[in-house]
């Protein structure tokens, strides 16, 4: 006789159905399964850990009331969640009217770093900071494709599904975004601030 499936072994549709009927364990399984992707998307889009945490919480609280609005035949549940996160991040950015200027928190370095290692690490941190700043300065539609395709490793078809646009649109936005980023980073190399 087959052993019944645990909540973590059920598919998203079954977990959603159980969640809609008040099953807390099913909802927690959905949360554990998808919160990382929602958080990373919100973090890359906003540049702020606090905003990403808030957006993730808002998305999962909202799905408790929105479960009837999700239609499995329209796409994957994670794409639905990313779409919600996208809207929440945009609202946060509009409300605050500011994109985080301070993207990198410099962690405390161990005392035994040699001067060369420390300079290399600081240089890499500055380059990474410049890239993050450049990504955050992109228009939202370009930033979204960079976050999904380049940072999260999502393929074009999945990105198109998550963003609700055509695959060709994802490709063209990504191409344009990469060109803009390259130009910004070249300008930075020529004229360091």
What pLDDT digit, counting tens, does each position of 23-82 carry? 889 888 999 999 999 999 999 888 889 889 999 999 988 887 766 577 777 778 888 898
CA 10 vs CA 14, 63, 73, 97: distances in Å: 6, 18, 18, 41
pLDDT given at position 113: 44
Whether the domain at 7-100 and the domain at 120-193 fall into the same CATH topology: no
Residue-wise DSSP of 103-148: ----PPPPTT--HHHHHHHHHHHHHHHHHHHHHHHS-HHHHHHIII
For the ranges 79-88, 101-110, 117-126, the one whose mean pLDDT is highest? 79-88
pTM: 0.60
Q: State both tokens at 102.
A: 């301070």
pLDDT given at position 38: 94
Domain coordinates in residue numbering, the chain: 7-100, 120-193
Q: Which CATH class is domain 120-193?
A: mainly alpha
DSSP 8-state assignment for residue 6: P
Q: Which CATH architecture has domain 7-100?
A: Orthogonal Bundle (1.10)
Are 149 and 170 a contacting pair, CB within 8 Å? yes
């Amino acid at each position: 006789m087959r052993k019944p499936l645990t909540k973590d072994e059920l598919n998203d549709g079954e977990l959603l159905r159980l969640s809609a009927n008040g099953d807390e364990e099913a909802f927690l399984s959905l949360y554990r399964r998808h919160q990382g992707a929602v958080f990373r998307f919100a973090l890359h889009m906003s540049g702020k850990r606090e905003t990403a945490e808030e957006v993730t919480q808002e998305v999962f609280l909202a799905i408790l009331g929105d479960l009837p609005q999700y239609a499995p035949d329209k796409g994957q549940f994670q794409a639905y969640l990313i779409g919600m996160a996208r809207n929440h991040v945009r609202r946060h950015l509009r409300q605050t009217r500011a994109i985080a200027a301070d993207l990198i928190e410099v962690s405390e370095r161990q005392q035994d770093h040699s001067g060369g290692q420390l300079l290399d690490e600081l240089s890499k941190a500055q380059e990474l900071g410049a890239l993050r700043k450049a990504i955050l300065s992109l228009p939202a539609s370009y930033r979204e494709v960079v976050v999904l395709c380049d940072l999260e490793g999502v393929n074009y078809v999945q990105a198109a599904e998550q963003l609700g646009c055509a695959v060709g649109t994802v490709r063209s936005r990504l191409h344009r975004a990469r060109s803009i980023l390259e130009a910004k980073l070249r300008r930075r190399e020529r004229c360091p601030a």
